[in-house]
Structure 1
């Protein structure tokens, strides 16, 4: 099995021992993105809508670095510290994905890195 590591300077650098994405065959596994500004490596200010926009912008950058787009995603995981934000994150997600949408899970969690309210990872098929 050959793994290709995917990196984008337009997305935040990994804040731990992982890669932004790994390509194996025609599949690309995009690591979870939190609302970090890729230039300052600080959390974006604002509500869950602002956080979600930054998360999806980060995912777009990594997907493009892998030679695809979010429309190539076949599975998405959304992690929320407050499931009350489910509808707002759905509204933001619709601005970054086109139908037919990928399979998805939305999971409520107690906490996320750096106090984020949302994190999203994905699997992309090229």
Structure 2
């Protein structure tokens, strides 16, 4: 059975979606952007800072279910400029340094609120 995950430690959903959902075995997060829990958009920050904020949001959503980076199975990173890959990857590695999950990173035409990165994940609760 699907259950909605909702935490005040990450930005509230700004549309018809949930921060994450779970079936008790897996967590599927919505894409997290560099938006603070207070609603401040970090679109003018360097991609490293944007990546850090997006991953902090992602970790807050996972923590609501007592999960962490070690439980993440798959990550998808969306970049509005693939030339930012190296800077994103350096920050990303700080979160997933030991046994990192599978990952895809793709360039997209645009992201919500004009940010440079959006990150989503699938994690296990087993």
TM-score (norm 1): 0.95
What is the CA deviation profile of residues 78-113 of structure 1, one whole-angstrom value per residue up to 9, with x for unaligned ones? 000000010111110111113211000001000000
Q: Which residue of 2 aligns with 1:31?
A: 30
**Equivalences, count:** 124
User: Secondary structure in 1 aligned to 2:58?
Assistant: helix
Distance 1:103 1:46 in 2: 27
Moved more, 95-104 or 115-124: 95-104
Distance 2:53 2:65 in 1: 19
User: Secondary structure in 2 aligned to 1:42?
Assistant: coil
User: Secondary structure in 2 aligned to 1:84?
Assistant: helix
Any stretches of 5+ residues in structure 1 without a counterpart?
none
Distance 1:8 1:95 in 2: 23
RMSD over aligned CA atoms reads 0.9
TM-score (norm 2): 0.95
Any stretches of 5+ residues in structure 2 without a counterpart?
none
What is the CA deviation profile of residues 46-89 of structure 1, one whole-angstrom value per residue up to 9, with x for unaligned ones? 11111111000000100000220022010000000000010111
Q: Which residue of 2 aligns with 1:107?
A: 106
What is the CA deviation profile of residues 16-63 of structure 1, one whole-angstrom value per residue up to 9, with x for unaligned ones? 100001001310001100000112x12124111111110000001000
Q: Which residue of 2 aligns with 1:59?
A: 58
Q: Which residue of 1 aligns with 2:77?
A: 78
